[in-house]
Amino acid sequence: MHSILKLRNESGYSLLEALFQLLIMGIFLHFFVLFFYWKLPIERQLQDYYATEWELFAIDLQALLVDVDDFNVHMGNRAITFTNERGKIEVGQSNNVIRKSINNTGYIPLFTNISSVFFNHEGYELNVEVTMLDGWKRERRFAIGFRQE
């Protein structure tokens, strides 16, 4: 019995072994292709995230600019201050964030991952130009709703 266990089949590479290796290679190839099909939507979703953050910033800023008493651009067109029913509001850049402060108490981040911001005030309009850290530029015009007395 012991001599039967020592016998080895040394006839070479079999068809069954070749089919098994092709099967394993096919499975790995499917995973490789599926990875790239998965990667593309994830990259699009990341880009959509930044677009969504920009739109939310635009909605927040436009909501703040309703019923404004006075409006000023300062700090070399890098910040704005205005007064509405909530008090004195300042919106400006600090490091890589556009943030707001109400009555000089704390800061609330409005938009992140920015390199620079430029505010331009003309009459009843505010133009905001933002350069992102990745070099993309975004621009939006906002209507300033001055309170009628």
pLDDT tens digits for 101-121? 999 888 999 999 999 999 999
- pTM given for the model: 0.68
Q: For 44, which DSSP code? A: H
Residues 85/67, Cβ–Cβ less than 8 Å: yes
pLDDT tens digit sequence for 6-47? 656 566 778 888 899 999 999 999 888 888 787 777 777 666
SS3 of residue 57 by DSSP: helix
Instruction: Give the separation between CA 116 and CA 136, rounded to whole angstroms.
Output: 11
Q: What integer pLDDT is reported at residue 46 of this predicted model?
A: 63
